[in-house]
Structure 1
């Protein structure tokens, strides 16, 4: 990764309480999800910041993290999760930026929903670095919505553009994390900073918290996502 210091930020809620529109609520299932994803992430050797917001310490997750050097397990009790997942996720990022040593020492932060593993992350990451992009995000729906399951951005993007947008989230008004993420990308671009699409659709492995179903990644679905991404780039006249 040249001289760029990269870290992985995994957001987690092991024991969710009163979170609207959440079907995967079993603490046992969720902890198992995190252990499974962390066991895969450590193979890449990236510094990992695992931030859990229900005040739960998982010895199983910590045991996986201990298999490599330069990891952190941070936990606290959320004040905002009851307002919705978007509020809780933004709060996790804010907490991480205030309390993580690894993030303070990093240049580029990859934020992933902690129960997911992204099979093609390193390919996507290499392309973001090759392009010297300030932020990567797959924007959809008239560029008003950005997929929040995978964020790759310079540290200053989170500090100067994303976190300041946080107070504008209002799930009751239909303004979600994904809208705030898209707005932050637009704001950064207005100052001449570079945004890019993922070079290929992220391949997620894990269970959807909203639907409590494992992501399907058969050949047909992968082909469909690649076609959609390719057509979007073509329509926006994005060249790689």
Structure 2
């Protein structure tokens, strides 16, 4: 990836500091989760030069800790109240709501073309190498696919922002109780895009 692509790419870190008893969420401790998110965010600020959107859905604002990076235009912190939906829908539904909110409200995403979505507590140490290995175009999504299971690994994927309306238009299908997981809907959306469907 050449340096002139730097402004075309934004890292999107999704976060839920207070899971509020969300099912299938192993770490429930708020302070521990906050610490993990801060460690991850610090890694990407230190080890990459990409602009970063950190978006959190339980109304816990940590932007006061990053005023320098925010004022320099390197970081955008968004916090909203988006974790009060029915619990049976599962955390994947909440993840989709986070992506939808970011897509609508983020100024950095509006200024960029490609979104590198990363689950906020995960440190992808080779993130630069992964981005550099991609031949980015509007009709490609880079992620790990499970073709047999028809699912994806969703903690990290790269897509043009035009992919998001297609995927997010199906967000209401996500329901952990019905075993229609975020990863399954993401997989289906990728294949719909490759077949040329827009909705």
Instruction: Provide the residue aligned with 2:141 in structure 1.
Output: 135
Q: Distance in 2 between matches of 1:153 and 1:59?
A: 26
Match of 1:24 in 2: 27
Report how far residue 69 of structure 1 moved. 3.3
Residues 1-240 of structure 1: matches in 2 within 5 Å? 1-2=1-2, 3-4=4-5, 5-43=8-46, 44-59=48-63, 62=66, 65-66=69-70, 69-78=73-82, 79-80=84-85, 82=87, 83-129=89-135, 134-142=140-148, 144-159=150-165, 161-191=166-196
Question: For 1:179, what is the secondary structure of its paired residue?
Answer: helix
**Aligned-residue offset at 1:180:** 0.8
Which runs of 5 or more residues in structure 2 are unaligned?
A: none
CA-CA distance at 1:99 after TM superposition: 0.5
Residue 198 of structure 1 is matched in structure 2 by none
CA distance in 1, matches of 2:137, 2:97: 30
* Matched-pair contact (CA < 8 Å) for 1:81–1:88: no
Q: Which runs of no fewer than 5 residues in structure 1 stay unpaired?
A: 193-240
Shift, 1:168, TM fit: 1.1
TM-score normalized by structure 1? 0.73
Q: Give the aligned length.
A: 192
The CA deviation at 1:59 is 5.0
Contact 1:34-1:61 within 8 A present in 2 as well: no
How far has the Cα of 1:70 moved from its partner? 2.5
Supply the distance in 1 between the matched residues of 2:86 and 2:37 (Cα, whole angstroms).
Answer: 18
Displacement after TM superposition at 1:132 (Å): 7.5
Of the two, which has the highest radius of gyration?
Answer: 1
Counterparts of 1:63 and 1:29, CA distance in 2: 22
User: What is the root-mean-square deviation in Å for CA atoms of aligned residues?
Assistant: 2.3
- Superposed CA deviations along residues 83-140 of structure 1, whole A, max 9, x for unmatched, are 3111100000000011100001111000000011101111111121368862111111
Q: Distance in 1 between matches of 2:136 and 2:55?
A: 29
Is the 1:7–1:46 Cα contact (8 Å) retained in structure 2?
yes
